[in-house]
Structure 1
Amino acid sequence: MAVTVSFSSCLLCFVLLLPVLCSSQDTFLCSRATYYGSPDFLGTPTGACGFGEFGRNVNGGDVGAVSRLYRNGTGCGACYQVRCTIPQLCDDAGVKIVVTDHGEGDYTDFILSTRGFTKLARPNMAAELVAHGVVDIEYRRISCQYPGYNLVFKVHEHSRFPEYLAIVVLYQAGQKDIVTIEVWQEDCQQWRSLRRAYGAVWDMTNPPRGAVNLRFQLSGDDSKWVQLRNAIPSDWKAGVAYDSAIQISN
């Protein structure tokens, strides 16, 4: 359902630069969006979230950098519905994007891939929308969906077996954030926290020998913990992604 936004409400949103409800029914927030150029119109493998090639191709390349929503990396991997508010140019449904990078523009919360930005437009209106450069939008967080994919733990390429382990979580479904990751230290019988190195990359020096048992905590009122045995094998290798055999629900 299309939402009509008055000029005065969006002007107030622009002046205060704070999230203001555009519709109490759909809980969309007012902001602005622009786009970045890339040769293939997709994402970038060098984004601040540390996703690598996943950040370029995930969601078909409908990805974006965010500023305030980055939240020191906690916002990496979150999904949003974004739609612009120029009636004659903008599609009512907008585009669903995945956060893969950090960036700031002209009072924008979103800097979308060119592919994602053009999907804001009605059919045959993409070129005209792109010519605007920056557009007023409304957005809301939605559940990420990866049909056919489990949660994956990728050992970051900068890891060095066995003295330094860095991991990044890929294909996380739902709307919750991972706020803590811990590994089980068998020799002292306690959980040991990983450090958020940057973006979605978590790391530790001198990781436990043997298969890595880990648990992670999700955001929300229940602060749910998810525990996994042998999440990463004892002979882990840098650059290799390991399937968790589970997926996160809403």
Structure 2
Amino acid sequence: MGFIIEKQMVFLGLVVLFPLLCTSMNTFTSSRATYYGSHDGYGTSSGACGFGEYGRTVNYGNVAGVSRLYRNGTGCGACYQVRCTNPQYCTRGGVNIVVTDYGEGDRTDFILSTKAYTKLAKPNLAQELLAHGVVDVEYKRISCKYYGYNLMFKVHEHSRYPEYLAIIILYAAGQNDITAVELGQEDDDEWRPMRRAWGAVFDMPNPPEGSIDLKFQVKGSNGHDWVQSNNAIPSNWKAGGVYDSTIQLN
């Protein structure tokens, strides 16, 4: 059964405390990357994926906006290793990032947060790399692993109980895309599809009363699978509430 984290600040603190760990066997693709500035180097809470504060602080703020990798929002939450190809300034390992936004640059696939961009650089060379503005990179998709987290979702602040329900998908581990979400109830064989409103946000007007079950269509290396979370949303759900699906993806 899903549960609610009542204090949003507790949830956001956990986001910062548990960074992303990633592994993969994919090959690298050549591209370019730039960065956007913020007062603290983190991401933005107004990103096109709809993540809000999670999109600013997840993975210690090592996040990025992407263009073609956004894939109409399906690419939100995907993880990539990005490394600069200039051996004079850049480390070989680069940085692991989470996609939290859409953005187009000068023939770039990635617009990195400042924190992520400076992690491309060798020690004491971050300012020199920032001065370049745009750098050649190579990247590959990697698996996301979040210690201490199942697949979770947040009831979007725009939700209005009981007339309108929108949820944001959080902590989708592995190399998985959430391609669809359906809503149902116990002892009811009918599943109703939610609409992908934008980014990682799925919504439905006039949701059913009572506790709600959710099914997530997950696209991974083994194709498409449906996973189900029973009583995922309680009957007295609230905008801003964060719930645990109890589903573990890998």
Using structure 2 for the length normalisation, give the TM-score. 0.87
Q: Answer 1 or 2: which has greater strand percent.
A: 2
> For structure 1, which runs of at least 5 residues remain unmatched after alignment?
1-24
* C-alpha separation in 2, matches of 1:229 and 1:149: 17
Are the counterparts in 2 of residues 153 and 232 from structure 1 also a CA contact under 8 Å? no
Following TM superposition, by how much is the alpha carbon of 1:189 offset from its aligned partner in structure 2, in angstroms?
3.2
Are the counterparts in 2 of residues 186 and 208 from structure 1 also a CA contact under 8 Å? no
Are the counterparts in 1 of residues 31 and 138 from structure 2 also a CA contact under 8 Å? yes
Is 1:103 the counterpart of 2:89? The answer is no
Instruction: Please give the secondary structure, in 2, of the residue aligned with 1:136.
Output: strand
Are the counterparts in 2 of residues 79 and 143 from structure 1 also a CA contact under 8 Å? yes
Instruction: Please give the secondary structure, in 1, of the residue aligned with 2:108.
Output: coil
Is 1:226 the counterpart of 2:227? The answer is yes
> For structure 2, which runs of at least 5 residues remain unmatched after alignment?
1-24
Following TM superposition, by how much is the alpha carbon of 1:39 offset from its aligned partner in structure 2, in angstroms?
0.5
1:159-178 superposed matches below 5 A:
159-178=159-178
Structure 1 residues 157 and 61, CA gap change in structure 2 (3 angstroms): same
Amino acid across the alignment from 2:232: A
* C-alpha separation in 2, matches of 1:226 and 1:37: 38
The residue aligned with 1:244 is: 245
The residue aligned with 1:60 is: 60
Amino acid across the alignment from 1:145: K
Is 1:204 the counterpart of 2:204? The answer is yes
Q: Which runs of 4+ in 1 moved over 6 A?
A: none
Are the counterparts in 2 of residues 74 and 200 from structure 1 also a CA contact under 8 Å? yes
1:76-155 superposed matches below 5 A:
76-155=76-155
* C-alpha separation in 2, matches of 1:191 and 1:83: 43
* C-alpha separation in 2, matches of 1:43 and 1:173: 20
Q: Specify which structure has the bigger relative contact order, considering alpha-carbon pairs within 8 angstroms and separated by 6 or more residues.
A: 2
1:8-27 superposed matches below 5 A:
27=27
1:45-56 superposed matches below 5 A:
45-56=45-56
Residues 115-163 of structure 1: CA distance to partner in whole angstroms, max 9, x if unpaired? 0000000111111111100000000000111111222110000000011
Identical aligned residues as a percent: 68
* C-alpha separation in 2, matches of 1:121 and 1:93: 10
Following TM superposition, by how much is the alpha carbon of 1:188 offset from its aligned partner in structure 2, in angstroms?
6.5
Are the counterparts in 1 of residues 209 and 235 from structure 2 also a CA contact under 8 Å? yes
The residue aligned with 2:12 is: none
Instruction: Please give the secondary structure, in 1, of the residue aligned with 2:77.
Output: coil
**RMSD (Å), alpha carbons:** 1.4
* C-alpha separation in 1, matches of 2:186 and 2:207: 11
Number of residues of Structure 1 aligned to a counterpart in Structure 2 = 225
Structure 1 residues 207 and 146, CA gap change in structure 2 (3 angstroms): same
Following TM superposition, by how much is the alpha carbon of 1:246 offset from its aligned partner in structure 2, in angstroms?
2.7
Following TM superposition, by how much is the alpha carbon of 1:62 offset from its aligned partner in structure 2, in angstroms?
0.2
Instruction: Please give the secondary structure, in 1, of the residue aligned with 2:191.
Output: strand
Instruction: Please give the secondary structure, in 1, of the residue aligned with 2:145.
Output: coil
* C-alpha separation in 1, matches of 2:207 and 2:185: 8
Are the counterparts in 2 of residues 65 and 99 from structure 1 also a CA contact under 8 Å? yes
**Rg comparison, structure with higher value:** 1
* C-alpha separation in 2, matches of 1:112 and 1:50: 17
Are the counterparts in 2 of residues 185 and 192 from structure 1 also a CA contact under 8 Å? no
